Amino acid sequence: MSRITKKVRLGLMILIAWAMPLAVAAAPFAAFVMDARSGQEIYARNADTRLHPASLTKMMTLYLAFNAIERGQVRLDSKFLVSSHAASQPPSRLGLKAGQRIELRYLIRAAAVKSANDAATVIGEGLAGSEPKFAAQMTQMARALGMRNTHFRNANGLTTEGHYSTARDMTILGRRLFYDFPQYYSIFSRRSADAGIATVSSTNRRFLDSYDGADGIKTGYTRAAGFNLTASAKRGSKRIVATVLGGTSTAHRNATMVQLLDAGFGKAPNRVREVKPAPPVFVAEKKVRRTVQVASVAPRTASSASTVRLSSSDRPVARASTVAVVTPAAISAAISRAQAAAAPKASSSGATLAASARPNRKPGTGAVVTNAAVDPEVLARAARPEARPEEGDASEPSASAIDAARPAPAPRDDRSASLAAPAETGSPSLFVQTATPQPESMALFEAPAPAPRSDAIILTSLEPEAGSEPETTEIVTREGSTGGNWGVTLGLFRSQREAEQLLLRTALQESASLGSALSRVANTKRGFEANFVGMSKETAELACNRIAARQQDCRVIGP
């Protein structure tokens, strides 16, 4: 029985040993090559096929970490708490323990150089509160960067359902790291780094040492993904970024990358316009649809006018939108009744007007009638001089009725009332104001002309008035910023000009971290010292860390 068991175990071991290379070789292969200066495609093979990115995922983890530092959310010396979930991640690991606190700078080095899974998980949990939340932020940032076929489920790249990317998207991300965070990009070319609790070696050191001009970026491997690599190299004025997914071994992956980069340098033009990537554009995943209800009122006519009754009030006055059609026959009848009522008060000549279809219009006193709501009784009362509104006639129509007949009422004074007075000949004149009155019936023509505006220009004299005391002007001078007595020094230089140029270039690059610090060149016996002064201790340390990330010597100086 024991012999059979041994033979079965041996057979299984042989089968597993034979199947493992086939499983690795079965990983789909994809590649993409890009001119980093312009973002133009040079070569593509299965570039948009969704595959397992493995530890190339950590490029996005580091991108969000750099972004958080630049936005001031965290600092390089911020300490992150290691959770039990992060400490339990499988290799590659830094060896973090649950409950431990470690600075972000060491986590970045471990994730970028050693590709430590526990360090990447601590970064994600420290920035977002949990790894699922951080993965959602990673996916959102991927969309903002134009990575259309990428979805993240964790911060380290271990194989998980629904965690995928493409060769094209990983190349886009590699180019973004170079252009968006040049001050941190050098971390990807280090062969080793101090990760706080240990010195770690680069997983990409073989390729960095073997290919001329290579300066990054990231390797990755899982059984499901195969051997992956996103690399960047520069030769002369050309920079090429490329990605390989699904290599069968480290040697095969590196050899394939060499061929891709060589082809890229051969096809890329010597001179091309550099097009830096635009800032990330975030698009909301969920759109809230708002329904706006607009009330509309259908036009009313005389035949379709509705009657509205209120239970607690009398019938309201007809709406202004109600239009009554006045026929010539109705107008003639109204004029006849008005003339008959005004006959006892005719002029001394005794002349009266006989009923006619329409009186002749005299110059300047012509009658204007439009399609307005006109009551014949109102017209008759308007023709009587004693019925003028300013005389307080008891039969005066209500203000609402008058407003309903004219959409733009003018001020009612003696001048406007005179429009309804009879002419000098004693013949009554009938005027009904409309929305567009005729020029001869406008009360504005009879109003007094306004006083002409003065064309004089008054200039404020800059000379004090005679006998006045000039105001006391207080001149405040200060030597520099009062932010603090700390600063940073960039080293000694042989000439003052060289030191000033370095201070100017650094001030432009690090304006956010330097704040209101003053640049100053100190002339010492050893040379010209380039300094930034007038900062607090915290500001000086942060600024020096960022300057050092640009491969520039920097040292904090205190009071």
> Exposure string (b/e) for 394-408, b if CB count within 10 Å is 16 or more?
eebbeeeeeebbbee
Residues near 203 by beta carbon (within 8 Å), at least 6 away in sequence: 55, 92, 113, 114, 115, 219
Q: Which of 55, 165, 202, 519 is catalytic?
A: 55
115 is an active site residue: yes
DSSP letter for 164, please.
Answer: B
Side chain identity, residue 169: D
Give CA torsion, residues 488, 493, 497, 500, to 10 deg: -10
Q: How many CB atoms lie within 10 A of CB 537?
A: 14
List the catalytic residue out of 58, 114, 218, 238: 58
Q: Give backbone dihedrals phi and psi of 131, rounded to 5 degrees, phi first.
A: -70, -40
- Do 440 and 431 meet the contact criterion of CB atoms below 8 Å apart? no
What the block records as the tokens of 126 is: 């420290």
83, 92, 115, 232: which one is catalytic?
115
* Beta carbons within 10 angstroms of residue 526's beta carbon: 6
Alpha-carbon distance 438 to 469, whole Å?
Answer: 62
Phi, psi values for residue 246, rounded to 5°: 85, 25
Distances (CA, A) of 108 to 36, 443, 550: 24, 84, 16
Contact assessment for residue 95 and residue 80, using Cβ atoms and an 8 Å cutoff: no
Q: Is 55 marked active-site?
A: yes
Q: What separation in angstroms does the CA of 237 have from each of 108, 214, 265, 278, 383? A: 29, 14, 10, 21, 96
Residues 6+ apart with CB under 8 A from 144: 280, 281, 282, 283
Instruction: Round to whole Å and give the CA distance between 439 and 119.
Output: 87
Structure tokens at 412: 């009612």
Amino acid found at 387: A
Phi (first) and psi of residue 338, to 5 degrees = -70, -40
- Please give the helix or strand (H or E) that residue 255 lies within, else none: helix 250-267
Q: Which residues contact 84 (CB under 8 A, 6 or more apart)?
A: 98
101-103/518-523 β-pairing: unpaired
Catalytic residues: 55, 58, 115
